Structure 1
Amino acid sequence: MTPEALRLLLLADTHVPRRARDLPDAVWSAVDAADVVVHAGDWVDIALLDALEARSTRLVACYGNNDGPALRSRLPLVAHAELGGLRVGVVHETGQAAGREARCDAAHPGLDLLVFGHSHIPWDSTTPAGMRLLNPGSPTDRRRQPTCTYVTATASGGRLGDVVLHRLPVR
């Protein structure tokens, strides 16, 4: 990692306190280590938004389909940011897996990276236009996945690097 690289933490579908009372300790440690926390919606409770805003250096986030009026009043449907020279978008839903890349190119032109959630299924692909699509899964609700997950990465000089899917121990 170059000295100017931003350390990113990608989260989605935390569902606190519906699916878990809090984020796992490993995720809070990742929050503390990150320069930017990116959250792709389905917070459920505004208390987690408040906690992440208080604890993280920078937060880029959107709301999800399970987020009520209090969260929707503070978060956009789609968030945009420039992170380490990358044009980043954050959205909760991108629709079904089939055709996702073409749909995202049409719906989110000009982005280098689109972070999304909703499915709780980790996803990493690149669209025909060259946009990277990342879904970090869920750190609290694995659903049909073997483990709960989140993603860390770096951004520097307009490039995404060091993308790692972290698998949490099953509780």
Structure 2
Amino acid sequence: MATRLLLLADTHVPVRARALPAQVLDAVAALGPGDLLVHAGDWVHEDLLDDLLARCATTGARLLGVAGNNDGPELHSRLPEVARADVGGLRLAVVHETGAAAGRERRCAERFGSGDQPADVLVFGHSHIPWDTTAVRPGGGALRLLNPGSPTDRRRQPACTLMTAVVDGGALHDVVLREVVREVVGRG
């Protein structure tokens, strides 16, 4: 059975945005039983974690998240620095920060693609820059690196973004970077 993934990072609610855009909330609502919402850190306030957990409980989806560098002690007490899950035979790891872009594939392949818990896919955040590359793991094989960007704070990127994907038969399919259209509040 296929599992749909919704990948988010760097939501920064309520600092960069008062709330998640409607498009993001619609994507969460579209998840079904067994699907997975992945959040790669920088939630900023634990109310967002509680809200997304409640929304996932309503749809039967699961949530896998990590704390980021802008998350306070409350979130760090509830979320790990690194999260791992087996999603239909695909080994998924999540972390907030992976360091500079230069050398990222090598560093991540060494840290997450080998050892006693090698990952097939690493989801990360921090930079607000969408990323989709493949690294060669020590000893062979591939580690897919995905950063969904930010749905609320595009920084120097052309648009706010999120990412969707499907896991089927132990493999990742249909990875799509989606532009998030920010709502414009009427003037006047």
Q: How does 1:20-169 map to 2 (within 5 A)?
A: 20-34=17-31, 35-56=35-56, 57-108=61-112, 109=114, 110-129=118-137, 130-169=142-181
SS in structure 2 of the partner of residue 27 of structure 1: helix
Contact residue 149 and residue 161 of structure 2 kept, 8 A: yes
SS in structure 2 of the partner of residue 73 of structure 1: helix
| Alpha-carbon distance between aligned partners in 2 of 1:112 and 1:31, rounded to the nearest angstrom | 24
Structure of greater Rg: 2
| Alpha-carbon distance between aligned partners in 2 of 1:169 and 1:41, rounded to the nearest angstrom | 21
Contact residue 39 and residue 65 of structure 2 kept, 8 A: yes
Contact residue 105 and residue 131 of structure 1 kept, 8 A: yes
- Structure 1 residue 169: Cα displacement: 2.4
Specify every segment of 5 or more residues in structure 1 that has no aligned partner in the other structure, as ranges. none
| TM-score, structure 1 normalization | 0.96
| Alpha-carbon distance between aligned partners in 1 of 2:98 and 2:146, rounded to the nearest angstrom | 11
Query: Where do 4+ consecutive residues of structure 1 move more than 2 Å?
Result: none
- Percent identity over paired residues: 64
| Alpha-carbon distance between aligned partners in 2 of 1:78 and 1:149, rounded to the nearest angstrom | 22
Specify every segment of 5 or more residues in structure 2 that has no aligned partner in the other structure, as ranges. none
Contact residue 90 and residue 170 of structure 2 kept, 8 A: yes
* Matched AA of 2:70: N
| TM-score, structure 2 normalization | 0.87
SS in structure 2 of the partner of residue 97 of structure 1: coil
Contact residue 123 and residue 134 of structure 1 kept, 8 A: yes
SS in structure 2 of the partner of residue 131 of structure 1: strand
* Matched AA of 2:175: V
Contact residue 7 and residue 33 of structure 1 kept, 8 A: no
* Matched AA of 1:151: M
| Cα-to-partner distance string for 1:39-93 (whole Å, 9 max, x where unaligned) | 0000000000000101112000000000000000000000000112110000000
Number of residue equivalences: 168
Contact residue 139 and residue 150 of structure 1 kept, 8 A: yes
